[in-house]
Amino acid sequence: MPINTGAVVHESLNVLFDDDLFLPEIQEKPREKAFRALRSILSTPNHVSKSFLRITLENDEVIRIPAFRVQHNNVLGPYKGGIRFHESVNEDEVINLATLMTLKNALHEVPFGGGKGGVVIDPKEYDVRELNLICKKYVQYFSDIIGPDKDIPAPDMGTSAREMDWMMGEYKSIHPGENYRGSFTGKSVVNGGSLGRREATGKGVYFTFRYLFHNFATEQQTWLSERNHLIAKNILDLKDRNFTIAVQGFGNLGSVAALEAYQCNQLNNKVIAVSDRNVTLYNSDGLDIPTLVKFTIENNKDLPINDKELEDAGIKAKVIGRDDLLTLNVDVLFLAALEDQVTKDNMEEIQAQVIVEGANAPITTDADNYLNQKGTIIIPDILANAGGVIVSYLEWLQGRETQYYKEEEVFKKQFEQMESTFDTIYPQFFSNTYTLRQICYRQSVMKLSDVLYRQGKLY
Ligand code: NAD
């Protein structure tokens, strides 16, 4: 089972209830009542909308496609979250992902709430005109509830800048005269998208890791070495030695994170394995990541799948089984492909001491508990993969102002915002027995609860 965000919210509230420093002005019976209200508000969505899009296919057949928009919470700002096109989309999954967006935005001080959308299709089964129609219908059916100040969708699995451009175009036709540029983010640059948006998540994922093992570990070296703490010891150990990385998934996120690792001169790391939907490529001396990135750009996104393709591309690597990557003898594993990759079935074979979640929920609850007990350092999705939504916020701002930032400015603002989150979260990792995921969730729940209380929503 993927991490159940509602359950982690409850856990966080239980800890906060006993914390005398949190909302000290509410005590005894009123405190119990306020926390009961928080439990129900934060673990349920404000709205779940479901429609059946009526689509006329190219062969003139008329079909109905189930589609969702879930608006979890907007106490911090307009709802925000991607639209997923996948055959396994279902209501519970969309609610779970919308909840995660509320928490992620709260954690990183992005002034948005949480939402998520989904359409139950395998996009590969539709041609481009049919996909264009599905996008337009999605906007038509949900046009009353989305908009730049209400709910701002973005791409997710199965959707990209192309779909956001189409959707924004449709929104503009339905709402003439409105500032339509802020209605969708993740658009193409020519259509009002932000420079740097494509790389933002992958760069942010590697930055989250580098910040802990280099910036934080260097600044806090003495403090960490005085701690009698296994995790502090492991961080200091990795900081100064040569170590190896494997990256699962070599798409937008994984390829950028791998390239950041390859180019990093602050840590002595080497990417020795990468995988995609077909294969794992392995080289114990380190893979030539820039050449692999070039290959995937030129060859429809997939990695070389055999010795001939590797030789033609001038890449030295061995082809091994796709899922073998997860259990390789490496120090650090970046999960940048899909949900539910480290599970009860393979958790005991995982050798990495550090796992960075680039994808959402790649570790199931059972595996998360097991690995935390074993002392594996898990940098959770909510902390690591927020680069995308932070730059989406910058895109929304730029669209409103119709003033566009240079790429360096975008990354500078993104990293500053993430750094401020790390400075709150990382020091807490060593002072108690909570995992990074629990600390992040608690921080988000604390922020949301405080704002809900101050807006008078708990009476
Ligand atoms: P993508 O489609 O560009 O890349 C996915 C990669 O994973 C591809 O290389 C694909 O071949 C590979 N893959 C698929 N199945 C695999 C398997 N079983 N084993 C190994 N590799 C496999 O997607 P992306 O934008 O890189 O996103 C990756 C994940 O991160 C997705 O789950 C996405 O929802 C999540 N995410 C992405 C962003 C973003 O801004 N891109 C933000 C937050 C979360």
Task: Indicate which residue's Cα is closest to atom 30 of ligand 1.
Answer: 359
For residue 432, what pLDDT is reported?
A: 63
Residue 3 has pLDDT above 80, yes or no: no
Residue 374, ligand 1, Cβ within 6 A: no
Q: What is the mean pLDDT of residues 175-196?
A: 94
Q: Count how many Cα atoms sit within 13 Å of the Cα of residue 403 in the half-sphere of its side chain.
A: 3
Q: Side chain identity at 220, as an amino acid letter?
A: Q
Closest ligand 1 atom, CA of 200?
40
Q: Are 364 and 87 in contact (CB under 8 A)?
A: no
Tokens 């996909």, located at residue: 131
User: Do 81 and 33 belong to one domain?
Assistant: no
Residue 428 within any structural domain of the chain: no
User: Do 124 and 178 belong to one domain?
Assistant: yes
User: Do 229 and 320 belong to one domain?
Assistant: yes
| Total count of domains within the chain | 3
Q: Looking at 101-110, 219-228, 287-296, which range is the least confident one?
A: 219-228
Which tokens sit at 219?
């600044």
Q: Are 88 and 122 in contact (CB under 8 A)?
A: no
Closest ligand 1 atom, CA of 323?
19
Residue 80 has pLDDT above 90, yes or no: yes
User: Do 237 and 300 belong to one domain?
Assistant: yes
Residue 192, ligand 1, Cβ within 6 A: no
Q: Per-residue pLDDT tens for 238-295?
A: 998 999 999 999 998 999 999 999 999 999 999 999 999 999 999 999 999 999 999 9
Residue 305, ligand 1, Cβ within 6 A: no
Q: What is the mean pLDDT of residues 298-316?
A: 91
Whole-prediction pTM: 0.94
Residue 82, ligand 1, Cβ within 6 A: no
- Distances in whole angstroms, Cα of residue 431 to Cα of each of 16, 222, 381, 439: 16, 15, 22, 11
Planar angle of CA 388, 246, 275, nearest 5 degrees = 80
Q: Which of 253, 255, 333 to mutate to test the pocket of ligand 1 (most atoms within 8 A of CB)?
A: 253
Residue 276, ligand 1, Cβ within 6 A: yes
For residues 405 and 403, give the distance between their C-alpha atoms in angstroms, rounded to a whole number.
7
For residues 399 and 187, give the distance between their C-alpha atoms in angstroms, rounded to a whole number.
11
Kindly list the catalytic residues.
116
Which tokens sit at 196?
């740097």
Q: Per-residue pLDDT tens for 405-442?
A: 999 999 999 999 999 999 999 999 887 678 999 999 99
User: Do 81 and 116 belong to one domain?
Assistant: yes
For residue 433, what pLDDT is reported?
A: 76
Residue 190 has pLDDT above 90, yes or no: yes
Domain final position from 332, 358, 375: 375
Q: In whole numbers, what is the pLDDT of the chain averaged over residues?
A: 95
Q: Which domain holds residue 346?
A: 198-375
Sign of CA dihedral 256, 261, 262, 265: positive
Domain final position from 183, 207, 241: 183
Residue 310 within any structural domain of the chain: yes
Residue 1 has pLDDT above 90, yes or no: no
Residue 185, ligand 1, Cβ within 6 A: no
Q: How long a stretch of residues is the chain?
A: 459
For residue 281, what pLDDT is reported?
A: 98
- Distances in whole angstroms, Cα of residue 417 to Cα of each of 308, 314, 394, 422, 430: 44, 39, 11, 9, 22
For residue 224, what pLDDT is reported?
A: 86
Task: Indicate which residue's Cα is closest to atom 19 of ligand 1.
Answer: 277
Task: Please tell me the chain's helix, strand, coil percentages from 3-state DSSP, rounded to the nearest 5.
Answer: 50, 15, 35
